[in-house]
Amino acid sequence: MTEQRTSLERRSFETFGLRPEILRAVAEKNYTTPTPIQEKAIPFVLEGKDLLGCAQTGTGKTAAFALPILHRLQEKPWTGRGRRPIRVLVLTPTRELASQIAESFGAYGRHTGLRHAIVFGGVSQHSQAQALKQGIDILVATPGRLLDLMSQGLVHLKTVETFVLDEADRMLDMGFIHDIRRIIGQLPGKRQTLFFSATMPGEIRGLADSILRDPVRIAVTPVATPAGAVAQRVHFVEKPEKIDLLKHLLGDRSVKNALVFTRTKHGADKVTKQLERHNVRAEAIHGNKSQNAREKALGNFKRGRTRVLVATDIAARGIDIVDLSHVINFDLPNEPESYVHRIGRTGRAGASGIALSFCSHEERPFLADIERLIRKHLPVAEGHPFRSGRNPGPPTDLDPRRAHVVPVLSMTRAGESFRPGRMDAFPGRSDGRPGRSRRESKPGAGSGGGKQGNREAERRHAR
Ligand code: AMP
């Protein structure tokens, strides 16, 4: 305890040696303590090192790269004549992220005199081209529009000193990989590269390996919802019956709105179609949908025009829905951390929410992984197993206000108390947890009987 307090006391933005004009802007933002990723990353970025950061939006990642980048630009100001060259390029998948990042550079750099611009598609390029012509130090861009402007000779990247690739996994999911490689091909070989991705599948690691030089690796656990509480339950239901169970649950008016997660894009479309046929207003968002389609679907959901949003993990990342009553895991995620991200979407800002998980026979190992991560058994929902074509029994109480709330925050890993934003070095097992390997966690491996089955029986008995 004492040790913890001491280490917290030591943290402050002053200790990084950032320039006073940047510290002033940080103070104006009312940031007093660096977030874990800032604490880990800022010293290395200041040194000019390459970085591989496993972190998602919401962890304070933007300031983790923007503050030291601004510092470095100020330390070595450009003194040439004529138009300012682009010294920093930030590539990010969506216009919302681009806007947020540009805004952050504006806020943190407000006393520096440095200039930034933002380019993204879907709008006229005129004002973007004008800004570029005036000369800027920092460019925040989405890949498609940047390539357009490059092909027109409006952007030259040979002067870039620091390149930031943000949300690399989402870029890949959105099919940007070739665009990214083309853009990187135009950057000088000698540069600093900061690479961020919330997940690190093989393809992302491959890309990272090909563009980073001796990177510092940092991983940060996403900050869980501190204020809210989520009641969690599991429904044991076989795959063909999941859609009937979902329709049945949605028949309850306490389900004001629901974010439904499927493992695949195809699954999201299929569930959406089946709900629509059942007269439930539903839309899907996933990587195969255009930016406009996703924004529209999200807008409709937020405004209450649709009641159900069906999403894949990556598409749902970063979206913030205030007032979400239910999260339904139609498929269990194969990465247990995704479960925590998913259920953190409800129960925000002190409200209570309900997270329901459908678990088929093949998904039992995933459930075991989740329960190991959160260190508790998910209570089994009442009125189950659900059987289509039969009376499903008394409905589960789906009113979040009456729900038996289990706090989300008692997460642990390897026997430690869960602390939001905790970081560990990787690679290796990215979660550092002991026990079953990913390969072993595939559905079907050891599912059903044995210990798992016994534990199931114990659970039911305990009820
Ligand atoms: P990001 O992950 O960069 O999108 O940041 C998430 C949110 O955290 C943004 O609203 C930031 O303004 C805020 N934030 C970033 N760093 C800090 C900090 N050290 N203290 C308080 N808030 C912060």
Convert the pLDDT of each residue in 141-164 to its tens digit. 999 999 999 999 999 999 999 999
Candidate ranges 31-40, 207-216, 391-400, 401-410; pick with highest mean pLDDT: 207-216
Model confidence, pTM: 0.58
Cα 32 to averaged position of ligand 1 atoms, centre (Å): 11
What's the whole-number mean pLDDT along residues 161-184?
Answer: 92
What percent of the chain has a predicted confidence (pLDDT) above 90?
51
Residue 57 alpha carbon, nearest atom of ligand 1: 2
Q: Is 56 in the pocket of ligand 1 (CB under 6 A)?
A: no
Alpha carbon distance, N-terminus to C-terminus of the chain: 36
What's the whole-number mean pLDDT along residues 278-296?
Answer: 87
Topology agreement, domain 13-219 and domain 230-462? yes
pLDDT in tens, 117-136: 999 998 899 999 999 999 99
Reported as a pLDDT band with limits 50, 70 and 90, residue 187 is very high
What percent of the chain has a predicted confidence (pLDDT) above 70?
75
Q: Which residue's CA is the nearest one to ligand 1's atom 18? A: 31
Q: Is 57 in the pocket of ligand 1 (CB under 6 A)?
A: yes
Q: Is 62 in the pocket of ligand 1 (CB under 6 A)?
A: yes
Confidence (pLDDT) at 400: 60
Reported as a pLDDT band with limits 50, 70 and 90, residue 365 is very high
Residues paired with residue 165 on neighbouring β-strands, in sequence order: 91, 195
pLDDT in tens, 64-75: 999 999 999 999
Question: Residue 414: left (phi > 0), alpha (psi -120 to 50), or beta?
Answer: left
Cα 58 to averaged position of ligand 1 atoms, centre (Å): 7
Residue 300 has pLDDT above 60, yes or no: yes
Domains of the chain by residue range: 13-219, 230-462
Q: Are 210 and 168 in contact, with CB atoms under 8 Å apart?
A: no
Please name the residue that has the structure tokens 């093989």: 202
Q: Which residue's CA is the nearest one to ligand 1's atom 15? A: 60
Confidence (pLDDT) at 423: 26
Identify the three-state secondary structure at position 232. strand
Residue 104 alpha carbon, nearest atom of ligand 1: 12
List the single range of 96-100, 158-162, 386-390, 444-448 with lowest mean pLDDT: 444-448
Cα 59 to averaged position of ligand 1 atoms, centre (Å): 7
pLDDT in tens, 198-248: 878 788 889 999 999 999 999 876 544 333 467 889 999 999 999 999 999
Identify the three-state secondary structure at position 443. coil
Burial, 427: exposed, middle or buried (Cβ in 10 Å; 0-12, 13-18, 19+)? exposed
Which class does domain 230-462 fall in?
A: alpha beta
Q: Is 31 in the pocket of ligand 1 (CB under 6 A)?
A: yes
Q: Among 31, 54, 423, say which to mutate for ligand 1: greatest number of ligand atoms within 8 Å of CB.
A: 31
Which CATH homologous superfamily contains domain 13-219?
Answer: P-loop containing nucleotide triphosphate hydrolases (3.40.50.300)
Confidence (pLDDT) at 261: 96
Confidence (pLDDT) at 219: 85
